[in-house]
């Protein structure tokens, strides 16, 4: 994959200064960011708030429903009505059996989302921004890595997954590149509290320990930068950390402040 720097330089060559947010539309591209964070930290909630505040932006939610009801992709000849099962439930119930299957499927669904073309509406906006809920990068550097370290992915599965991941991302080049990350950070205890409040049936057995492990993976990748990453653009991508321990759902002033911070971050890209 070409480094993000070259994307910036190409923008600059096309007349848009890299730090100038207002000129991102040149070349038909948008600023592309991913929201990262632990399970139930509030990514979907945050994404909805961004959607309300910036209705012109394009949002891509995590395709959880697809994982809960796996179907064959429809072709002209077949319709995709057959349900092959709830892969999210399967991976939580029998992680050693289903982790490899889950990670290849989640990675593919995230890749598809990151390759979606810009909508007509977004193309008409002066400051186009695309936000993804998690990314092909968290698939590998948070979840798959953690499952390998827990022993749920074998050496051979982890090797094949990484090989496939690197190959796909190199093949698609800049099309999967992101300009930055919004890291929603909260304590694992707060995430567990929100997870219980949400009550997704598949997550019933999740223990604090699992959220602590995922928290450490996020910190190592996005804050301490000790996780070994394999893409130049990723190494250089800016990370904006937002502390969301505070319950902002009923606090308009806090919401406004968070939205202002996101907009300001994008202006620095």
Ligand X SMILES: Nc1nc(=O)c2ncn([C@H]3C[C@H](O)[C@@H](CO)O3)c2[nH]1
Residue ranges for the known binding site are 37-45, 62, 92, 103, 134, 139, 194-198, 203
Question: Does 133 qualify as catalytic in the annotation?
Answer: yes
Among 1, 35, 41, 88, binds ligand X (CB under 6 A): 88
CA–CA separation, 34 vs 179, rounded Å?
9
Q: Which run of H or of E encompasses 146?
A: helix 145-149
Residue number with the smallest Cβ distance to ligand ATP: 42
CA-wise closest residue to 138 among 267, 210, 227: 227
Choose the one of ligand ATP, ligand X, none that binds residue 198, judging by a C-beta under 5 to 8 angstroms depending on kind.
ligand ATP
Stretch that binds ligand X, among 68-76, 100-108, 118-126, 228-236 (CB under 6 A): 100-108
Handedness of CA 123, 240, 195, 198 (dihedral sign): negative
Count other Cβ atoms within 10 Å, centred on residue 240: 18
- Pair 136, 172: CB distance under 8 Å: no
Shortest gap between Cβ of 68 and ligand ATP (angstroms)?
12
Shortest gap between Cβ of 22 and ligand ATP (angstroms)?
30
91 near ligand X (CB under 6 A):
yes
Q: Which is nearer to ligand X, 125 or 135 (CB)?
A: 135
How many residues interact with ligand X (rule CB under 6 A)? 11
24 near ligand ATP (CB under 6 A):
no
For residue 50, give every residue at least 6 positions away whose Cβ sits within 8 Å of its Cβ, in sequence order, or none: 57, 59, 131, 259, 262
Q: Which is nearer to ligand ATP, 38 or 125 (CB)?
A: 38
For residue 80, give every residue at least 6 positions away whose Cβ sits within 8 Å of its Cβ, in sequence order, or none: 71, 72, 73, 74
Q: Which residues bind ligand ATP (CB under 6 A)?
A: 37, 39-45, 62, 194, 197-198, 244, 247-249
């Amino acid at each position: 994959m070409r480094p993000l720097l070259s994307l910036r330089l190409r923008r600059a060559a096309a007349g848009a200064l890299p730090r100038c947010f207002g000129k991102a539309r040149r070349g038909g591209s948008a600023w592309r960011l991913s929201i990262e964070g632990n399970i139930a930290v509030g990514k979907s909630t945050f994404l909805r708030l961004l959607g309300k505040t910036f209705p012109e932006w394009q949002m891509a939610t995590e395709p959880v429903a697809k994982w809960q009801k796996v179907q064959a992709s429809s072709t002209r000849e077949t319709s995709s009505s057959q349900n092959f099962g709830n892969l999210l439930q399967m991976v939580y119930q029998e992680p050693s059996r289903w982790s490899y299957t889950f990670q290849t499927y989640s990675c593919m669904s995230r890749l598809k989302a990151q390759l979606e073309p810009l909508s007509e509406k977004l193309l008409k906006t002066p400051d186009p921004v695309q936000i993804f809920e998690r990314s092909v990068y968290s698939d590998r550097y948070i979840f798959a890595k953690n499952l390998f370290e827990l022993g749920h992915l074998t050496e051979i599965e982890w090797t094949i997954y990484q090989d496939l991941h690197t190959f796909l991302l190199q093949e698609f080049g800049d099309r999967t590149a992101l300009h930055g990350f919004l890291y929603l950070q909260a304590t694992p205890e707060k995430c567990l509290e929100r997870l219980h409040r949400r009550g997704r049936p598949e997550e019933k057995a999740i223990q604090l320990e699992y959220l602590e492990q995922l928290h450490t993976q996020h910190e190592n990748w996005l804050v301490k930068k000790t996780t070994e990453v394999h893409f130049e653009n990723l190494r250089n991508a800016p990370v904006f950390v937002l502390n969301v321990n505070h319950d902002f759902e009923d606090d308009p002033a806090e919401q406004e402040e968070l939205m202002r911070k996101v907009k300001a971050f994008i202006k620095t890209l």
